[in-house]
Every structure is written in structure tokens, then in C-alpha cells.
Amino acid sequence: MAEAHSAVAFSFTISHEGVNINYDHEIFYAVWQSGLRSWRRRLTKFWNNIWTCAYPASPYSLLIIAVIIAFLTWKERDVSHGFVDFLASHFTDNPLVATFSIAAFYAMYTIILWLIFVNTVRYCVKLLLVYKGWMYEARSGKMSLKTKLWLAVMKLIAKRKPQLYSFQGSLPNLPVPSVEDTMSRYLLSVRSLLDDEKFKRMDMLAKEFQNGIGKKLQRYLILKSWWATNYVSDWWEEFIYLRGRGPLMINSNFYGIDAILIHPTQNQAARAAGFIHAALLFRRAIDRQTLNPIMVQNIVPLCSAQYERTFNTTRIPGKETDKLIHFDDSQHVVVYHAGRYFKLPVYYMGRLLRPCELQRQIEKILRDPSPPQPGEEHLGALTAVERTVWAEVREKYFCKGINKASLNTIEKAAFFVALDEESYNFDSKDPTKLNQFGRAMLHGKGYDRWFDKSFTIIVAKNGRVGLNAEHSWADAPIMSHAWEFCLAQEFNSNWYDADGNCVGESKNNLFPPSHLKWDFSNEAIEVVENCMQSAQTAIDDVDLRLLMHDAYGKGFIKKCRVSPDAYIQMAFQLAYYRDSRKFSLTYEASMTRLFREGRTETVRPVTTESCAWVKSMINPNATNEERIRLLRIACDRHQKGYQDAMCGKGIDRHLFCLYVVARYLNVESPFLDEVLSEPWRLSTSQTPHGQTDLMDLRKNPDHISAGGGFGPVADDGYGVSYIIAGEDIIFFHISSKVSSPETDSERFRRHIEQALMDMKTLFDQKA
């Protein structure tokens, strides 16, 4: 009845008595309120942009400058040094007009002075942020006078309470390393992976490149760095992500998991409502810039550019390259349940629906008896297959009519929500349940996620939640921040009553969710089914294992006086050597967000120092003291590599960009061809946490998420993600391919566990 009511909100009839107009006053009021919300949103953005552009100065400084100029003018001081009089003399002799002209010119002069002042201050901040010596001194415990003075100034600036984008204009550009430095670092990173003969050959290729075509390629790259904000990020997004023709599912998208140690409610509709509401609060915080920017040690800002596309963003498939579409606003989400797609409005009368109201709306979806339309149930599989296939299907079957309209509804949604019909659980005594949870988040059934959306919130039948995120628009720390925010909102707001329902009363006149309509031919349905089979084949080849390591965590590692991240990376090296009896090229992701529009850089954990330590662990004649000494040396070397990567002194992004320039120039480089084709058989990444101050993990350690993971990068390799969950727990997510005879995720899980145990024994014996 509600759908029928909304369908005739406006109508008119013509009779012999004249024209009768019938309209629903409420729907017109809703449209009016929605328009007001849009205008308020635009005005808020405009005002925030003024504050952002002025930071660390303030728009009020314009008023101060205006008052000073007005006072000096009143005292008959020519603060413009004749500039205003010169302009006024060229207009008119009319005294009244001349007076207004002089006032206008003084106003213009005031604004010019203010802009000069603001940009001077921002440039000074930029010069301060160029300095990176603090990073190398922070861990040594010895701090130079220069760094102390620098920290004091940065603390004063940080007290100005920056908004999310306040530092964007002040962040330095990513520097281009010299070819000589990159060659030196590269050769050092592969020395332990190559025998003498292969290393001699690689050294020859590197020097040939350095003294030859490398100089020309470097000149073009430096030219780009002068022109572009970041010389890496646009090419990285285009060539690594958007031009990739492989499926997003498993190969590109990553996933996140609930805070598994607690379970706020087992009511699926209530949990979904809570997370939808929390996610939209995060979007509001981004739009209004009330979200605090991430600051290293609460002093040094990280780039916030990636937050802009968190919501209302979709990756559109193309035959040769995809494109990212970001919509300015969206007032709905799309919900998938039992093979059906629903449009769910999340605003009413211009305001965001409360969790209790969203729960009632989701319950309508869960109770909806309508069956999936032909071809609808497996439609999401189109986003799980090769991009060229999806692009051709989209062009052929979604170019007009209701299919185009329904697809637009999905792509313009704020985000996607999947209400699964299965339950996911955690049992410390049964690790297979956590494995099942991870697999559901990574790929689901292959057709019950919309892998093109910026992210999908997944809610199990028993109220467990997770997410699946598309990778091209941003890196994992951004999505991790959003996920942490949603969990914190849920834990701190007491949304659920004793029965697990959202507290509060819901209005009865909310616009109901609407089932999207589709009209597919038999040919189109057959294509969808074929894509579903392809997705299932890829799913069957995934070997995913999760490990909750609770024997010890960050607390013990800190007592060993080594970096927790470096410690875990060394554990991976020991585990991998035991697993494959060799060292392989290893990828660890770090970030370059200390620079404007920075994304990631590669840390290469395999070093001569790490190999020496691993060999000592294998050598039965090595002493305990020698192993600890070598471990600390290896960890220090790893930390130096991590710091270099964060400070723009990495290897791989520079080589990647040189390769792109070479491709544009149609220049062949044996060195770059060989380096860029090297497989990363062990790909690792740490999931960050503690990015929001809304969650106190010291008081509530159970509130931390179990982290997330991704699929293997190489067909014969492992993908390992980990989160250091407080002082006593570390979660690991280990993936590989079933079809590879070289790998076994369960075997590697055991090797990681054994490596961590052996490392603890080293320090226990010392004590």
C-alpha cells in the first residue's frame, strides 16, 4: 500500500467541472527538505574549504588585516604606498563614485595582502614538513637540537585544531630519487636472492641502465614531478588498477572482519542498521571535515586526499581500461538479499534515518516475499569476472531501459550492503569457523557482492559483520579507519536493547525500500550464469587460513627492544624459508602519505641481515646470544628500509614510473623489463588500527577488529595480512592457491606459529 501511495503522490483529472489536481503534501515537503539538505551541504563545504585554504591561518585574520588597514588609513597613513590612489585616479572625477572606488580598491588590496600572508604561512609549513630527520631520530632515543626545535614548532601548529583537509596544501610533493641511489638500493635488496653469477649480471644491467637510457627517462620523470602533485599516484591508479583486466574478486579487492571477541546483537536487521548509520556518520564527518586528520605522534599530518572517494564511488568497467566515477552525493544504499536488489533510502525529510528506523526498513526487505527476477540472483557475478567481459556485457545489455536505470541505482548508491543468509561464527577451539568467515568476506558466493562499489558492508544472518572493498580508489588504511569508526560508534552509542533491537521508535510513513526491476533476455541470463561459473572456479582455487596467535603479542615484543612490525616480518622470513627451503622476493606495503596524494611504497624485507638471522636459526651450532644479536641487526635494517620508503627513498615506485616513461617513449630496457617481471611470492601487509580516538583499546581490548586480508599476488605464492591486536593477540590472514603444488596455507600457518614460538624461546632463554 505504501508503494501504491507514493506512486500517486501527484495526479490530476479533467472533467466537465474543470481540472482537479490531487497531490500529497508530505512528499512535496520531503522533496523540499531534501533540497534544503543539499544546499546546506554545499554551503558547509564552501565554508570548510575557506578554512582549509587558510590553515594554519584563519579566515578571521582577514578581518584583523582589514581593521589594521582601516585604522592606518584613518590615521592618514598610505599603507598601499600610492597603489590605491593610482588605481582610483584612472576612473572618475565624481567625488561620490571616487569614494566607493577607493573603498573597493582598499578591500581588494586587503584581500591581496591576506592571500599573500596565508600563502606565506602555508609555504613555511610546507618547508617544515619537508624535514624528515625526526623519523630517523625518533627510534634511536637521541634527538638533535634541530629536531627538538622542529617538533616544538609542529606542536604549536597542531594545536590549531586542523580539519580533515587542512594540511593538503602544505604537504610537500613526493621527491624523485636519483637513479644512482635507486640502483644502489635495488642491488643491495637482491644481493641475498641471487648467486654470484646472477648478481654480477644484474649489476651489469643496472649500471648499463644508470649510465644509458636511465638518464633520459629520469629527466622526463623530474619534469612530471614539477608539473604533477605526485609523480606516482595517477600512474599507479591507472596502470596497476584501472588497466588491469583480471577479476577484482580475490585478485584486487580486500576484506575486513568484525570485532570477533564480542557480539553486540544477533539480530541481522539491527546490526545492519547500526553499521549503515555509522558509515553515513563517517561520510558526514568527511563532508563537514569534522573528521580529525591522521597525525603521526599527533604532530605530523598524513595526506587525506583518499577519503574523498570513500562513498558514492563506483568502478566502471571498460574494454581497455576502467574508470572511477565519484558522485557528489547519494541519498540511498543498495541492499542485496536472497538474490534480490533493493534501493533503500537513508534520508527522510532531509535528515539521516536513525538506527531504529533503518532496522524497520531492513526488516521489510527480509520479509519481502517477492522472488528474484530471471537473471537477478547471480547478477553480481558480472563484477567478479574479467573486466573486458563485464564491459562488453554492460554495453550490450545495460545500455537502455529498466536495466540501465537499475544499474545506475546500484552505481550511484553511497555503498553496497549484502544481507547474507548464512551465519558466521568464531570459536577459538575450531579455527575452521574463522576461515569460513574470512572466505565469506573475501569472495562470498561470487555473485552476492557488488565488487565494483567502493565497499560492501556484509551482515550475516546471526549479526556478524564484515566488509569487502575495491582497491583502486584508496588503500587499506582509509577503509580501516572507516571500519574502526563504525565499530566505535556502535560500541559507544548503546544502539541495541536487551533483545538486540535498535532502541527508539520508528516513523510509520517512511518511504519503503523498492525492489529493483530487471528485464533480461535468455541470452543475457546465459551470460550471467557463465560468469557465475567462472567466479565459482576462482573461488574453488582459494586456500585461505586465519590464525589467532594469542600466546603473546606486542607487549612481549616491545620488551625485546625491537620493532613489532620488523619482528613479525622476520618471523615470516623464517617461516617461508622452512616452507620452501629458499628465500624469495618479499613485498611489504608501507605508505607515502607524508607527501601530498601519496599512496604506497614497497619495503623489501629480504636483506643480507635477515638472511643471516634465518640461517642462524637453522644452524644447530649457532648460540642463543648470536641469534638474538643477528635478529636485532636484521630488525634495525628492516626499520631503516621502512623509514626510507615512507620518506620517498623507496625503490619500486621509482622503477615503476621509469618503466611507464619507457613504455610511452617505446624504449626497451632489459633491466626494467626484468625487474618489473619479478614475482612477489610472499606479499605481506599490516592492517593499521588506533586511527580514531573514539575507541580506547586499553580499556576495551576486545573491541578490536580481527583485521582483514587479500588474495595471493603470485600463483605460486602467499598473501599474508596481519593486525597487531593490542598487547596480547596478533591475527594473521594467509592466502594461496589450491592449484599450486608449491604452497599450502595451512602448512604456512603452522610455520608462522612455530617461528613466533621459536623467537619467543630465544628471549625466554636469555632471561
Can you spell out the DSSP letters for 136-203?
HHHTTS---HHHHHHHHHHHHHHTT---TTTTGGGSPPPPPPPHHHHHHHHHHHHGGGS-HHHHHHHH
- Catalytic annotation, pick one of 337, 471, 689, 751: 471
Can you spell out the DSSP letters for 236-303?
IIIIIIIT--S-STTTT-EEEE--TT--S---HHHHHHHHHHHHHHHHHHHHHT-SPPPEETTTEE--
Backbone torsions φ then ψ of 330, nearest 5 degrees = -155, 135
Distances (CA, A) of 587 to 563, 592, 682, 741: 18, 15, 6, 21
Judging by beta carbons within 10 Å of its beta carbon (0-12, 13-18, 19+), is residue 372 exposed, middle or buried? Answer: middle
Type of residue found at 24: D
Type of residue found at 45: K
Q: Which of 204, 709, 279 is nearest to 483 (CA)?
A: 279
- Distance from C-alpha of 240 to C-alpha of 236, rounded to nearest angstrom: 5
Task: List for the chain the helix, strand, coil content (%; round to 5).
Answer: 50, 15, 35
- Distance from C-alpha of 246 to C-alpha of 471, rounded to nearest angstrom: 13
Q: Which of helix, strand or coil describes residue 727?
A: coil
- Distance from C-alpha of 688 to C-alpha of 690, rounded to nearest angstrom: 7
| Residue 89 burial (CB count, 10 A) | 12
- Distance from C-alpha of 753 to C-alpha of 550, rounded to nearest angstrom: 10
What strands lie across the sheet with 542-549, from one edge to the other? Answer: 542-549, 729-737, 718-725, 682-686, 586-591, 600-603
Type of residue found at 748: F
For the CA atoms of 691, 694, 700, 703, what is the dihedral angle to 10 degrees?
A: -60
Show Cβ contacts of residue 412 under 8 Å, excluding neighbours closer than 6 positions. 312, 314, 327, 330, 332
Can you spell out the DSSP letters for 381-398?
GGGGS-HHHHHHHHHHHS
- Distance from C-alpha of 349 to C-alpha of 195, rounded to nearest angstrom: 70
90 catalytically annotated: no
- Distance from C-alpha of 635 to C-alpha of 611, rounded to nearest angstrom: 11
- Distance from C-alpha of 249 to C-alpha of 381, rounded to nearest angstrom: 9
Type of residue found at 262: I
DSSP state of 502: B
Strand stretches in 474-535, DSSP E: 514-515
Catalytic residues: 471
